[in-house]
Amino acid sequence: MGKSSLLNTLLGRRRVSTSATPGHTKHLQTMHVTKDLVLCDSPGVVHPQVGVPRALQVIFGLYPIAQVREPFTHVRFIAEHCWPPLPAAFGLLHVARQVRARVWC
């Protein structure tokens, strides 16, 4: 995931160890940047819990993307759960509503 490398870059020097191999960070590490700002580096391996929808596992990177056979379910999950809703965010109307709106104009 590159969290350790990102933290080192943000801090301008090597504060946490890094590796090209995933899973190098084994425990939570904290770096005090200022008295009010603390950055944390944590292990990136998170095991999926029972009952977590597969779509969430894919979105959060817990399920290997190479094993996803049908991506449309996951894309739909994102579209249904984002805020503001995608149609409103892009100013889209349902096709039937668009036709009705044109008739009344």
Q: Could you read off the pLDDT of 23-55 as tens digits, one per residue?
A: 777 777 888 888 888 888 877 755 656 777 888
Domain with 17 in it? 3-41
pLDDT confidence tier of residue 10, bands split at 50, 70 and 90: confident
Q: What pLDDT sits at residue 86?
A: 76
Burial of 4 (0-12, 13-18, 19+ CB in 10 A): buried
Cα 74 from Cα 68, distance rounded (Å): 9
Q: What average pLDDT is seen over the chain?
A: 77
88 and 67, same domain (yes or no): yes
Per the structure, how many domains does the chain have?
A: 2
Q: What pLDDT sits at residue 102?
A: 56
Q: Is residue 48 assigned to a domain? A: no
Cα 25 from Cα 43, distance rounded (Å): 5
36 and 13, same domain (yes or no): yes
Q: In the numeric block, which tokens belong to residue 56?
A: 């969430």
